[in-house]
Amino acid sequence: MTNGGKRTVCVVTRWLGEPSEVWVWRQLMLFSHTQPIVFTWTRKNAANYPTGDISVHLAGTPEDPQLGHGRWLWRLRNLVSGNFFGTQGTEKNRIVEVLHQNQVSAVLCHFGQSALRLLPACEAADIPIVAHFHGQDISSGLNNRWYRWSLKKMLPRFAAVVCVGSQQMQRLRDLGVPADRLHLIPCGAPSACFPLSRRCPDPMGTTYICVSRLVESKGVAHCIGAFALAAEKLAESKLIVVGDGDVRDSLEALVRELGISASVHFAGSRSEEEVRSLLKKSDVFLQHSLDHSSGWFEGFGVAVAEASSIGLPVIVSACGGLMDQVVDGETGIIIPQKDEAAMAEAMVQLGRDAQLRARMGDNGRQRMLVHFDTTTQVEKLEQVLLNVIEGHARN
């Protein structure tokens, strides 16, 4: 317990301050019914993501013990338990020490791999653990047989399981998670930080924007291909690509190949304030995520939620959690994956109709406030934690 009478919750994340996982930091900042502390292996960007009076405890051990030849010893030592990701030795003792010293009442682990890793320490400390799944950990991650075996065996031992999309929820049901322990709580976005902004139609043309990690599965190449088609019908239109990643060079090459270099701007990685400013200067948001051959699918589109919050209509592909977020024809347009012609048609439709953009933008903002505002989502998450704590105390 803290001096304020709140229960202490330990939030576990592989790294804290990763820009692509800003929702972890946002959750921490909004905890109000419990007192969070953090256990992590890597602390990044502390100046941009300060935690104030929330204490951060570093593991002091490798981020991923499943890499290198040492993974075989790790797995051998976990053979009896069947949890091949479970913490051991010095690290396990360190975690138990942190949990006891801070009088932790429950542990919230972001990503299934971290939940499996913390499970032995939580059981040794007699503290309930909640596993929070986000994407890779309940899609392509299951291709790793060691992870898949461990997860199937250990899922019944988590006090609760949280996921961010309905497709993930179905997969967890298929893996045997009981309905009363399974919770759908999307990450959301902070509507207060992304207030409604109505941009006057620009006679110089429509501005489209993507905000994404530049990796193959995000499908930015299809946004560029669709923009090239749409630009033939929309004079002076522009595309802003915000983000960085492994495929940036190939995307820039594609832009040159399509002859649209004058209309496409790669903005690189930007701060939240800069992203917000760029969204306000744009007319339509684009995201074309793809079901990857690895089994990955989109969990929850945080950037889509931010764009909707600010009042932009969105065009998204029919991929994973994006279909939970967007109401086709009301808050945006959903197009088939890899269908650049359909995406271009939607871009032209919105580019030519400012009233339609405004209507969809207003609807998207309202849907964001009702279903995906971060404050509301964190309250739901905290209630799951408090219920777990109460249930553990009764038992």
328: DSSP letter: B
Phi, psi of 229 (to 5 degrees): -70, -45
Distance, C-alpha 300 to centroid of its chain: 6
Helices 340-352 & 354-367 angle (0-180, nearest 10): 110
CATH H-level superfamily of 7-188+373-394? Glycogen Phosphorylase B; (3.40.50.2000)
Within 13 Å and on the Cβ side, how many CA atoms surround 141?
21
Distance, C-alpha 99 to centroid of its chain: 26
CATH topology for 207-372 is Rossmann fold (3.40.50)
Check whether 2 has a pLDDT greater than 60. no
Using DSSP's 3-state secondary structure scheme, residue 75 falls into: helix
Reported as type and span, the H/E element at residue 284 is strand 284-287
Domain with CATH 3.40.50.2000 in the chain: 7-188+373-394, 207-372
% of the chain beyond a pLDDT of 70: 98
Within 13 Å and on the Cβ side, how many CA atoms surround 227?
34
Q: Which two tokens stand for residue 72?
A: 């075989």
Distance, C-alpha 166 to centroid of its chain: 14
Least confident of 198-212, 228-242, 331-345: 198-212
Least confident of 85-94, 202-211, 282-291: 202-211
| The amino acid at 383 | Q
Task: Determine the Cα–Cα distance for residues 152 and 167; give it in Å rounded to an integer.
Answer: 18
| Predicted pLDDT at 205 | 85
Least confident of 69-78, 304-313, 342-351: 69-78
pTM reported for the whole predicted model: 0.88
% of the chain beyond a pLDDT of 90: 81
**pLDDT tens profile 79-115:** 999 999 999 999 999 999 999 999 999 999 999 999 9
Question: Radius of gyration over alpha carbons of the chain, in Å?
Answer: 22
Check whether 3 has a pLDDT greater than 70. no
Provide the 10 A C-beta neighbour count for residue 349.
Answer: 16
Check whether 202 has a pLDDT greater than 90. no
Helices 302-310 & 272-280 angle (0-180, nearest 10): 50
| Predicted pLDDT at 51 | 94
Using DSSP's 3-state secondary structure scheme, residue 271 falls into: coil
First to last CA, the chain: 19
Q: Which two tokens stand for residue 208?
A: 């489209």
**pLDDT tens profile 160-201:** 999 999 989 999 999 999 999 999 999 889 999 898 887 777
| The amino acid at 279 | L
Q: How confident is the model at residue 62 (pLDDT cuts 50, 70, 90)?
A: confident
Nearest-CA neighbor of 168 among 208, 133, 218?
133
Asked if 8 and 104 touch (Cβ cutoff 8 Å), the reply is yes
Helices 248-258 & 220-231 angle (0-180, nearest 10): 20
Least confident of 102-111, 137-146, 339-348: 137-146
Q: How confident is the model at residue 203 (pLDDT cuts 50, 70, 90)?
A: low
Least confident of 66-70, 326-330, 358-362: 66-70
Segment 291-303 mean pLDDT: 84
Segment 309-326 mean pLDDT: 94
